[in-house]
Amino acid sequence: MIEILAIPGVILLIGAALLSFFSEKLRPVLFLVFPLIAAAVIILRPEGYSVTSQLLHYDLVLMQTDALSNLFGIVFALGAFVAGVYAFHMKELGQQICALGYAGGALGVTYAGDLLTLIIFWEIMAVASTWLIWAQRTPATDAAGMRYLIYHILGGGLLFAGILWHSVVTGSIAIETIPMEYTPANVLMLLGIAVNAAVIPLHTWLSDAYPKATLTGTIFMSIFTTKTAVYVLIRMYSGWEMLVFFGAAMAIYGIYYAVICKDMREILSYHIISQVGYMVAAIGVGSELAVNGAAAHAYNNILYKSLMFMAVSAVMYSAGTSKMFHLGGLYKKMPWVLGLYVVGGLSISGIPLFAGFVSKGMVIDAAGYGGYETIMLVLLVASVGTWLSVGLKLPYFTWFDKQDYEGELKPIPVNMYIAMGILAFACIFYGIFPNALYTFLPHETGYEPYTVYHLVEITQIALLTFVGFWLLRKKLAPELTTVLDLDWFYRKAAPATRLVFVEKVDTFYAHVEDGIQASARYLADKFQNPMRWLNPFTDEKNEASSYSPAMEVVMSFILLCFLVFAIIYFL
């Protein structure tokens, strides 16, 4: 029992349950304690440590540690702690409980050694994260949260169906690498994981929900769901070639929308899709270098993407909007937020001396070494779009463009700066000392990011992209527009779908119910007097006069036949 309580995910879930017993002043402090305890447990447990249990004839592995799980476990615990620092000023109990429970679900998935434990923590993540959207309490966020929940119910249902099918066929629920066989169980599980990884065309929940979540809720959401899915893909689907092409498509697709969007949080949301595409493509390549690249890029992405979301959320907290159309000229009033954002922007763009440079290069080179030269070029093109959209466009039109910002600004809490500072330091640290990260990767690596070729390549891309942006900046200027994604199709189809699958079905069942009730009334009326039912010539006004002894004989014979049949059947 004690071992179960020491599982990192369970520690955070216990913390979430205990928060409601403490005062508003103590809750933010207590929130930070549990990720630190979970991190300490992760560090102190040796690789190969496991916690097992038994359910019926299945062996449950509630916690299983190795290099890969510890890499993700540490960054998830760190992410929960830093996001808690950022949200320190936020006192709403519901958000605090759900954010900590959400992090607990992610850690539970990370250390799960069997599929049943995985699906339980997987669903905890879905339920807890939904509240971080609904907590905004507007009609738009109510609808977005419901769409988000439906998507994740679909994903969880597909995953669970695949798990059940897999357990019946193989007799095992252990988490292991699945051979590239397109069996129904394998495909169902892959589809369920793909929903959480925002693999196109199953991605629209992300770009729809993340910009509408609460300011602090968005930070947690940017850390856990997609990266947990990446972790599970590494565990189970490394080397599945189809993921190479889906990942490359995600990288380009997310970049395209990041370039044309005009809302800061929408831009960063689409960029999550693009960056996860790099990881998915690397998982599809499946080599040791590629798997290391996917894991390292997921780790770094949590750092710099959280930093960027924190910066734009700080702007939104102060200015009251995330629309770049209403911003500009903030560089004099928010210089520290600008500087911290730029660290994240340089990291995600793969600029030397920043974290993204040491992991993105690993992914791109792994594609080339694996024989996917075209995919390598696609990922390089996506790097151009990354630098253009979040490295140049977003900061330019948010902090510059105009001479001065004329609106009212609310002071930004100190805890927000502290959280951003921690992540900015980490982005620079791992960029300068990549071996500090490489040491903890699942496979040994001798990859050297700082080669002359790599430095020249990235410098050329960065300079040429900057020149192109400067020449075309007026074309990229923000304006009030609506960007349509693939969800347009199912939103347009929603009325017809509701008519066919809801209203028509309701009408059909209503008619069936009316028919059953009418039949019941008819039979009840007839069986008040069985003689009247058997004799169609009965006079209802004078039933006694129409009684016939022959009818009694017929009825007795029928009952006798029924009794004989029942005895023969049951004997």
* 493-520 tens-digit pLDDT: 778 777 777 788 888 888 888 888 887 7
CB 397 within 8 A of CB 327: yes
* Helix-strand-coil split of the chain, %, nearest 5: 75, 5, 25
pTM, full prediction: 0.86
User: Tokens representing 138?
Assistant: 């507007």
CA distance 51 to 209: 36
pLDDT score, position 551: 54
The residues pairing with 58 across neighbouring beta strands, listed in sequence order, are: 55
Helix runs in 405-529, H state only? 414-432, 435-438, 452-472, 487-492, 494-498, 504-526
CA distances, 303 to each of 67, 77, 427 (Å): 19, 12, 7
CB 456 within 8 A of CB 175: no
Buried-state track 127-145, b at ≥16 Cβ within 10 A, e below 16: bbbbbbbbbbeeeebeebb
First to last CA, the chain: 51
The residues, ordered by sequence, that sit 6+ positions from 365 with a Cβ below 8 Å of its Cβ are 289, 293, 376, 447
pLDDT tens sequence across 30-84:
999 999 999 999 999 888 888 888 877 788 889 999 999 999 999 999 999 999 9
pLDDT score, position 496: 79
pLDDT score, position 479: 66
> 10-residue block means of pLDDT along the chain (571 residues)?
80 94 92 95 88 82 92 95 95 93 96 94 95 92 91 94 93 91 94 94 90 93 95 95 95 90 90 95 94 95 95 93 85 92 93 92 92 93 90 90 82 95 96 92 89 88 88 73 70 76 83 82 66 51 49 61 65 56
CA distance 212 to 227: 20
pLDDT score, position 570: 58
CA distance 243 to 274: 14
Of 302, 393, 304, the C-alpha closest to 341 is: 304
pLDDT score, position 508: 86
Domain extents in the chain = 1-237, 240-478, 493-528, 529-571
pLDDT score, position 307: 96
